Structure 1
Amino acid sequence: MQFWMNLVLVVQLLSALVMIGLVLVQHGKGADMGASFGSGASGSLFGATGSANFLSRSTAVCATVFFVCTLALAYIANHRGGSTGKETVLDRATPAAVAASGAAAIPGAAPAVVTPAAPSASGAGN
């Protein structure tokens, strides 16, 4: 199970990096207007409209791969070995951790025992 989680995580990271690169390469809607005033050639690599179609479709494919990997990671993390699926994070919390944090009582959990502080041995204040 750990192998699949690592594999899906690597695919998700690669798709995120490729998607970031594709978004940065694309030009905005106002870029063609600037090119018409002589600031450069707007369609030098893929043609006038070819780059918009290719880059936008590639970005959509990377986004789809990213979201599928995100759902797969959530599924793998939820169905990790040993868990019955019916326990929650609150059920897995240890009573010592709850008492140390000073958190409010959790419904259905054992109440935390608070012990009063011992009086100081110096006898100050008497």
Structure 2
Amino acid sequence: MYTFLVVIQVIVAIGLIALVLLQHGKGADAGAAFGSGASGTVFGSRGSANFLSRATAYLAVVFFGISLALAYFVNTKSGVGASVVDSLPAAASEASAPAVGEQLPVPAPAAPAEDAKPKLPE
């Protein structure tokens, strides 16, 4: 069901993008007043704005509905802990965190060995 919803979500997103790109901006109405031929379009003189606006609104509602359903499915998967910390073994979480106010031991610097110095050829 999750995979099916993801596929539908992608299809709806692509459709929503296409519908938004097909719509004219508010400034495009000024060109129609000077005879740009808007009355001869497929949807009529004002029909495309209504059709595209309604279709965009319906697809947006479907997009948000599927998004909520996907969020529900992700949060209710079985076998998943509430947190990453909950899934750690108890020994690992206790050993990694020092107690409050505890001072951590500081290792002493190692003394350099005498053989570590490079010898120059004679």
TM-score by length of 1: 0.69
**Structure 1 segments (4+ residues) deviating >2 Å:** 87-97, 109-121
Residues 92/36 of structure 1: CA separation in 2 closer, same or farther (3 Å cut): same
Residues 78-97 of structure 1: matches in 2 within 5 Å?
78-83=75-80, 87-92=82-87
Of 40, 44, 49 in structure 2, the residue corresponding to residue 47 of structure 1 is: 44
Cα deviation digits, residues 3-54 of structure 1 (max 9, x gap): x11110011111010000001001112211122234x222422111111111
Between structure 1 and structure 2, the one with the greater Rg is 2
SS of residue matched to 2:78: coil
Alignment match, 2:61: 64
Matched, 1:119 2:109: yes
What is the aligned residue count? 107
Q: CA deviation at 1:119?
A: 2.6
Unaligned runs of at least 5 residues, structure 2: 99-103, 115-122
Q: Distance in 1 between matches of 2:91 and 2:11?
A: 41
Percent identity reads: 46
TM-score scaled by structure 2?
0.70
**Structure 1: segments with no counterpart, 5+ residues:** 98-108
